[in-house]
Amino acid sequence: MAELNDEEILKLFSVESTRESAFSMLVNKYQRKLYWHIRKMVIDHDDTDDVLQNTFIKTWKGLDGFKNESALFTWLYRIATNEALTFLRKKQKENTQSIHPIEYQLSKSLESDNYFKGDQIQLKLQQAILSLPEKQRIVFNLRYYEEMPYEEMSLVLDTSVGALKASYHHAAKKVEEFLLAN
């Protein structure tokens, strides 16, 4: 069966009898993209799984009220980003005995992560990315790995294109410096 476009999925979702199957199509279409977007932010697979589940629960609950003002894809990315950030802040708050920021803990956990298969230089790159401020990290991942155009990113992060370009260049410069220093 050919993959339906977002508009067709939304149309099916609005009908009670096809609601569930439409949502199933939406999940199949976007789960991988959203998973990797979240994974780059929270690093751990199990945490990613939790955040992705919450993202789809929120999507299910909010899809009725979704207005076609933005693309479904950007709306989903926005939910996923917010969920990941909420998760990281909650994790930081819960881990009160550690004096280090959450990014440092994620960086350390990466070294022992069974699902991380990168070599030493890839590990350094991930650690460099994790040393970035929260917003710059998201922008860098979306641009560098997902090659998302700034215009789309602007809709996801609700930030101007100019600010995003500046943010990406600051981030890339820091990563470059980190790689040189380490």
Residues at the site binding other proteins, with contacts judged by CB under 8 A? 5, 20, 23-24, 27, 31-32, 35-36, 39-40, 45, 49, 52-53, 56-57, 59-61, 115-119, 121-123, 125-126, 143-145, 147, 149, 168-169, 172-173, 175-176, 179-180
Least distance to other proteins from the beta carbon of 176, Å?
A: 4
Judged by beta carbon, residue 99 or residue 148, the one nearer other proteins is 148
Provide the residue count of the chain.
182
Residue 95's identity, in one-letter code, is: N
CA distances from 89 to 95, 96, 111, 174 (A): 10, 12, 22, 23
Judged by beta carbon, residue 91 or residue 124, the one nearer other proteins is 124
What is the spatial distance between Cα 52 and Cα 80, in angstroms, rounded to a whole number? 7
DSSP-assigned letter for residue 15: S
Q: How far apart are the first and last CA of the chain?
A: 50
Judged by beta carbon, residue 10 or residue 172, the one nearer other proteins is 172
Least distance to other proteins from the beta carbon of 21, Å?
A: 9
